[in-house]
Amino acid sequence: MAYAIIDLRERGQDLRAYVRGLEAWVIETLAGFGVQGERRDGRVGIWVPREGPREDKIAAIGVRVRHWIAYHGIAINVAPELEHFSGIVPCGIGEEHLGVTSLMDLGIYATMDDVDAALMKSFRTIFGDDT
């Protein structure tokens, strides 16, 4: 598992751009598995379009910034038991056409190690070599 602490003072102190970078990182990583991840205005995380109006969340993003040093957290649903989400409203998903999915649910059998390797590979593509 790789961790990165990013100094936003060196990146223009633009928190929105940083979050967009995290989203791009997840989207790039998912694309490596053949998954079309997308942003949605007004919703945090990365979404996968399904049949009809349905969209499912496949990744969550959380950020903590202290003195312009960013500590990020992302979570890509690799193979969780999706039934566990039925008893809660995950990440504020309350609309009927919104749900939760995972790589396994999409028919992609990847391990955590596979996803970690893909994340490390795409990290520098999005954030550059100076991180």
pTM: 0.84
Euclidean distance between CA atoms 27 and 95, whole angstroms: 23
Q: Give which of 46, 40, 21, 25 is closest to 101, Cα–Cα.
A: 46
Answer yes or no: are the C-beta atoms of 70 and 64 closer than 8 Å: yes
Q: Which residue has the tokens 């309350």?
A: 94
Q: Which single residue is written with the structure tokens 């609309």?
A: 95
91 is annotated as an active-site residue: yes
pLDDT, one tens digit for every residue, the chain (131 residues): 345 567 778 777 888 888 888 999 999 999 999 999 999 888 888 999 988 888 889 998 888 888 877 777 788 999 887 776 666 656 656 666 778 889 999 999 999 999 999 998 998 888 876 55
Catalytic residue, chosen from 65, 79, 91, 126, is 91
Query: Candidates 3.30.930.10, 3.20.20.80, 3.40.50.720, 3.70.10.10; correct CATH number of 5-126?
Result: 3.30.930.10
